[in-house]
Amino acid sequence: MKYKIVTLVCVLMIGFMAYMIPNISAREEERLAFQATPVVEESKKSKSDEWERYFPRQYGSWKKTEESHEIEDMLERFPQLAILWAGYGFSKDYNAPRGHAYALQDNKNTLRTGAPVDDKSGPMPTACWSCKSPDVPRMIEEDGELEYFTGKWAKYGNEIVNSIGCADCHDNETMELEIRRPFLDRGLEAAGLPKFKDSTHQQKRSLVCAQCHVEYYFKPTPWKNEKGEDKLAKVVTFPWDNGLTAEDMEEYYDEKKFKDWTHKLSGTPMLKAQHPGWEIFQTGIHGQKGVSCADCHMPYTQEGTVKYSDHQLQSPLRTMDRSCMPCHREGEDKLRGIVNQKLTRKNFLMQLTMDNLAKAHLETAKAVEIGATAEELKQVREHIRHGQWRWDYSIASHGSFFHAPEETLRLLGSANDEAQKARILLVRVLAKHGLPDFQAPDFSNKENAQSLAGVPLKKLIEAKMKFKATLEKEWMAEAAKKGKLNMSSQEGIDQESSYFDNRKKK
Amino acid sequence: MKYKIVTLVCVLMIGFMAYMIPNISAREEERLAFQATPVVEESKKSKSDEWERYFPRQYGSWKKTEESHEIEDMLERFPQLAILWAGYGFSKDYNAPRGHAYALQDNKNTLRTGAPVDDKSGPMPTACWSCKSPDVPRMIEEDGELEYFTGKWAKYGNEIVNSIGCADCHDNETMELEIRRPFLDRGLEAAGLPKFKDSTHQQKRSLVCAQCHVEYYFKPTPWKNEKGEDKLAKVVTFPWDNGLTAEDMEEYYDEKKFKDWTHKLSGTPMLKAQHPGWEIFQTGIHGQKGVSCADCHMPYTQEGTVKYSDHQLQSPLRTMDRSCMPCHREGEDKLRGIVNQKLTRKNFLMQLTMDNLAKAHLETAKAVEIGATAEELKQVREHIRHGQWRWDYSIASHGSFFHAPEETLRLLGSANDEAQKARILLVRVLAKHGLPDFQAPDFSNKENAQSLAGVPLKKLIEAKMKFKATLEKEWMAEAAKKGKLNMSSQEGIDQESSYFDNRKKK
């Protein structure tokens, strides 16, 4: 009897254990899954809010880039700019940059991108989306790079709908840093530098930023599509073949006789610097000490026992405790004072340079008006082209006064010298045509400056408002319908722009 | 018998001990003397070789400043300088500075101090000795400051005979840092800064240098001597009342309508910056971190178990292991590379600025020649005055490219802008007088430049050689006879100067 009971218990236990085995395996699988890097679905990766569940802190901090909602109208602050960029989009509208969350919306809001009425109209090529969204690499992958770079900006309005986010810098399976814009690797190769995959982790912490925060231009590139039709792509290209300094790139553009536009007032074949932040940063002391962009702009942050990179990219002056203090021993106030001195010095030379460049354009316009020939103005225009390029290169990346204060000041000094060289020659030309005492008209406020630059502001705003009320809304609805956009992610992205501000003020 | 012997031994021992007592006291005195700070006799303290026995290491390193014996003719290297300083001593002769041991000899060698034939002749006032010798404070103490600053340079030729040395910065009794030139304290007071005695030890480690390595001018100061006679002293004065920046001092001089000289070519009332090293250093990062001059230029040095300050003042690039590496973690080569970049940037803007200033002078001269009026040239000359002042301020202290790279570049950018502003106005003036296309003559070598500046070089050299063969020799002999100079200290002080070099070459 005893044996029977013992045997029964044993059988029951074995049975129970057998029943439990799959459960134990399931727990082990669960444990492994928990430890593994989560995978964001390929089809959803452009939508940063899909990453939130796995990376709530990184996502949350990225989302906070919405806090930089204020608009600073740079044309109000520096009216000279409207003169410097006459005939080019930037003379219409140019605001200080806001956070990554606004990158795409601000691109659609700016008067520079105009007011298309369908996918084939508007002033800009597709290339203008290139730095605004993780939908860009998606379209490059889907359509092929040359097709992506062909056609009008409006062509992708219903596809490119998520602002710069997770998938711009991270692999959705491994979460490793990655670049998805092929033009960076081509630039690195042209410069004789290691490609992204051959770079160190610390270099990658800057290179992901260098996908966009660099100098580039839209290189006209003829190609044939599958049907054998002739197409012209405008391909984002980094002019790094001769090196990374302002003079290296100037030489590159000069050799190619490239121009971004012909200046409306002075008739000069102009160059527009984009934002060569990565290049100029390397000439400064932080760059030379191997500091990466992320070290200061994405400082490590502790929350309880968790440490993560802050994805609220912003001025490190707002995160000095985490950005500066790990290395520096001075007090924050003292460091801030030193940084402000750098800014003051830069502004001093920048102001001089912009004024003189603006005068050079206006004086050239007058010379043309009273009969000066292209031959008489050849050298003048060369000085203007080089002066404005050096000025723009030195300050267009905004933080250069801090990233590379000495190189910035050197370039501003050189830019101003070019402007003044042009102006010395201009007095001679003007004198020969009977106007030795010509004084450039007043450009000390935005209204005057834009009027001199021939910007039909009211018309541009009206057209843009119509675009925003119609085509832009259609784009978003279509994208949402196709599953390319979670409409909820648009909450909080305010629609402010400088011309709305102006309306409010008036 | 036994007792007698014992008593005798005792008496002898007591006698011996009594004999030894003074000796023991003497040993104690000797011990105290050895521990005490040695005192250099008051009457001998200007002679640095008198300090050698007590401070052989400090003296030995000071003596090594003789190693910097090479002459670099700056007018050969930058011929523009002869134009910039036309009508002023520096257009005659200007070499890169050598070590402290040469300060006095180079002052006597330079063509700037001319060729006096007695104590009342020659171009320069007594003030020109002021930074060259510890005999200067001696004469100020002996004669009174106003008497010291009255009369010709040659007046003190047989008194001021020892080059910058120990007694310029050290008290001969306590060996503490001290200043013996009253003009520094007056300058500090004018600037609202603590006087020397109220400064910290670390500040004093720079302030002793600031007795000389600063901006100053010779302020005309009328006074009456004991006999009631009217005298005019030219008193070394620091223009610090408005602050320590280039613009602050420019304002100071402008308010006083002060000029160092009238430019021989352009007729501009000019300012000559001296060497505002202490002032500009404070705007740089080392200054702002509280580094003193001595920290880098007089690094602590270990010899066996002894640690002392190296008194061979020189470029810290020659002593990087002791000057830089105590704070910096980079390799020497990397640091040196960074320093060289700073120098290259400075040279780039400096070259532009000097060229344009030189052209502005020559163009003004031409305008005057063809009939331009003072009224027509008023603004031109203001721009030239300010431009040249800012250029000179920014670079005259030699190390500014490193001490304060950003302030240096900012000032060079501003200086060049002033030069170019003058030149723009000049084209107008020249055009009105019928010469719109005037090009300044060639000043690309020293001979051309000095010829344009009207420097009678051959005559100046001949007179100087005569002075050196006669009066200078007499001065030294008289000083030695009066005990003011140990002739042996003159060994090793080579007599090289740029015009000897030229002779050798030709």
**Which structure tokens are listed for B301?**
């040095």
> Which of B10, B83, B68, B12 is CA-nearest to residue B446?
B83
Q: Could you give the CA distance from residue A382 to residue A33 in angstroms, rounded to a whole number? A: 63
Report yes or no: B177 at the A interface, CB cutoff 8 Å: no
Contact B409 A414 (CB under 8 A): no
Report yes or no: B288 at the A interface, CB cutoff 8 Å: yes
Interface A-B: count of C-beta contacts within 8 A: 91
How do residues A75-95 score in pLDDT, each as one tens digit?
999 999 999 999 999 999 999
Contact B414 A334 (CB under 8 A): no
Q: Shortest Cα distance from B442 to chain A (angstroms)?
A: 18
Report yes or no: A421 at the B interface, CB cutoff 8 Å: yes
* CA angle (A143, A146, A151) in 5-degree steps: 85
Neighbours of B56 (CB within 10 A): 11
- What pLDDT does A34 receive? 65
Domain map (residue ranges) of chain A: 42-65+73-488
Tokens 């020559």 found at: B362
**What is the β-pairing status of strands A261-262 and A230-237?**
unpaired
Q: Which residue from B minimizes the CA distance to A432?
A: B436
Q: Shortest Cα distance from B271 to chain A (angstroms)?
A: 23
Helical segments of A234-276, H only: 246-255
Contact A406 B406 (CB under 8 A): yes
Q: Could you give the CA distance from residue B262 to residue A445 in angstroms, rounded to a whole number? A: 41
- What pLDDT does A503 receive? 43
How far CA A326 is from CA of A200, A295, A337, B248, B330, in Å, comes to 22, 10, 18, 37, 18
Report yes or no: B484 at the A interface, CB cutoff 8 Å: no
How much helix, strand and coil, in percent to the nearest 5, is found in chain B?
55, 5, 35
Segment A461-477 mean pLDDT? 96
B-interface mutation test, from A420, A423, A430, A439, most B Cβ less than 10 A away: A420
Report yes or no: B394 at the A interface, CB cutoff 8 Å: no
Segment B176-201 mean pLDDT? 98
Task: Report chain A residues whose CB lies below 8 A from the CB of B390.
Answer: none
B375 in Cβ contact with B261 (< 8 Å): no
pLDDT at residue A337 greater than cutoff 60: yes
Confidence of residue B368 (pLDDT cuts 50, 70, 90): very high
Report yes or no: B396 at the A interface, CB cutoff 8 Å: no
Q: Tell me which H or E stretch contains B309.
A: strand B306-309
The complex scores an ipTM of 0.91
Contact B289 A410 (CB under 8 A): no
- What pLDDT does A505 receive? 44
Calculate the CA A354 to chain-centre distance: 22
> Which of A311, A242, A353, A379 is CA-nearest to residue A67?
A311
Q: Could you give the CA distance from residue A493 to residue A161 in angstroms, rounded to a whole number? A: 12
Confidence of residue A403 (pLDDT cuts 50, 70, 90): very high
Task: Report chain A residues whose CB lies below 8 A from the CB of B417.
Answer: 352, 356, 416, 420
Confidence of residue A492 (pLDDT cuts 50, 70, 90): confident
Q: Could you give the CA distance from residue B165 to residue B103 in angstroms, rounded to a whole number? A: 10
Report yes or no: B349 at the A interface, CB cutoff 8 Å: yes
Neighbours of A261 (CB within 10 A): 16
Contact B338 A424 (CB under 8 A): no
**Which structure tokens are listed for B480?**
């030695």
- What pLDDT does A194 receive? 98
Report yes or no: A412 at the B interface, CB cutoff 8 Å: yes
| Among A residues 132-171, those touching chain B with beta carbons less than 8 Å apart | none
Report yes or no: A372 at the B interface, CB cutoff 8 Å: no
Task: Report chain A residues whose CB lies below 8 A from the CB of B405.
Answer: 406
Report yes or no: B300 at the A interface, CB cutoff 8 Å: no
Instruction: Compare CB distances from A406 to B409, B423, B427 and report the shortest one's residue.
Output: B409
- Extended strands (E) in B4-118: none
Q: Tell me which H or E stretch contains B254.
A: helix B246-255
Does the global pTM surpass 0.95?
no
> Which of B157, B153, B117, B112 is CA-nearest to residue B499?
B112
Q: Could you give the CA distance from residue B396 to residue B402 in angstroms, rounded to a whole number? A: 13
Query: Residue B189: how many CA atoms within 13 Å on its side-chain side?
Result: 7
A167 in Cβ contact with A46 (< 8 Å): yes
- What pLDDT does B501 receive? 55
* Residue A273 phi, psi (nearest 5): -75, 145
Buried/exposed B274-300: b ≥16 CB within 10 Å, e otherwise: bbbbbbbbbbbebbbeebbbbbbbbbe
Q: Which residue from A minimizes the CA distance to B355?
A: A417
pLDDT at residue A479 greater than cutoff 70: yes
pLDDT at residue A405 greater than cutoff 80: yes
Q: What is the pLDDT of chain B when averaged over all its residues?
A: 94
For residues A460, A462, A466, A471, the Cα torsion angle rounded to the nearest 10 degrees is 10
Q: Shortest Cα distance from B99 to chain A (angstroms)?
A: 30
Report yes or no: B338 at the A interface, CB cutoff 8 Å: yes
pLDDT at residue B454 greater than cutoff 60: yes
- Return the CATH number of the domain spanning residue range A42-65+73-488: 1.10.1130.10
Q: Shortest Cα distance from B454 to chain A (angstroms)?
A: 28
Q: Could you give the CA distance from residue B260 to residue A226 in angstroms, rounded to a whole number? A: 78
**Which structure tokens are listed for B240?**
């610090």
Q: Shortest Cα distance from B202 to chain A (angstroms)?
A: 18
Q: Could you give the CA distance from residue A115 to residue A123 in angstroms, rounded to a whole number? A: 8
A276 in Cβ contact with A396 (< 8 Å): yes
What's chain A's Rg over C-alpha atoms?
A: 28
**What is the β-pairing status of strands B269-270 and B261-262?**
antiparallel
| Among A residues 308-337, those touching chain B with beta carbons less than 8 Å apart | 330, 334
B156 in Cβ contact with B139 (< 8 Å): yes
Contact A352 B410 (CB under 8 A): no
pLDDT at residue B418 greater than cutoff 50: yes
Report yes or no: A400 at the B interface, CB cutoff 8 Å: no
How do residues A227-250 score in pLDDT, each as one tens digit?
999 999 999 999 999 999 999 999
Query: Residue A254: how many CA atoms within 13 Å on its side-chain side?
Result: 13
- What pLDDT does B10 receive? 83
pLDDT at residue B505 greater than cutoff 80: no
Q: Shortest Cα distance from A318 to chain B (angstroms)?
A: 22
Report yes or no: A286 at the B interface, CB cutoff 8 Å: no
Confidence of residue A14 (pLDDT cuts 50, 70, 90): confident
Contact B413 A356 (CB under 8 A): no
> Which of B236, B219, B269 is CA-nearest to residue B87?
B269
Report yes or no: A376 at the B interface, CB cutoff 8 Å: no
Task: Report chain A residues whose CB lies below 8 A from the CB of B428.
Answer: 427, 431, 436-437
Task: Report chain B residues whose CB lies below 8 A from the CB of A383.
Answer: none
* CA angle (A411, A416, A422) in 5-degree steps: 130
Task: Report chain A residues whose CB lies below 8 A from the CB of B348.
Answer: 410, 414
pLDDT at residue A30 greater than cutoff 80: no
B380 in Cβ contact with B426 (< 8 Å): yes
Q: Which residues pair with B221 in a beta bridge?
A: B233
First-to-last C-alpha distance (Å) of chain A: 102
A297 in Cβ contact with A307 (< 8 Å): no
Confidence of residue B504 (pLDDT cuts 50, 70, 90): very low
Neighbours of B21 (CB within 10 A): 9
Query: Residue B329: how many CA atoms within 13 Å on its side-chain side?
Result: 4
DSSP B38: P
Q: Is B174 exposed, middle or buried (0-12, 13-18, 19+ CB in 10 A)?
A: exposed
Q: What is the 3-state secondary structure (H, E, C) of A416-449?
A: HHHHHHHHHHHHHHHHHCCCCCCCCCCCCCHHHH
**B310: helix, strand or coil:** coil
How do residues B295-353 score in pLDDT, each as one tens digit?
999 999 999 989 999 999 999 999 999 999 999 988 999 999 999 999 999 999 999 99
pLDDT at residue A298 greater than cutoff 50: yes
How do residues B76-115 score in pLDDT, each as one tens digit?
999 999 999 999 999 999 999 999 999 999 999 999 999 9
Q: Shortest Cα distance from A426 to chain B (angstroms)?
A: 9
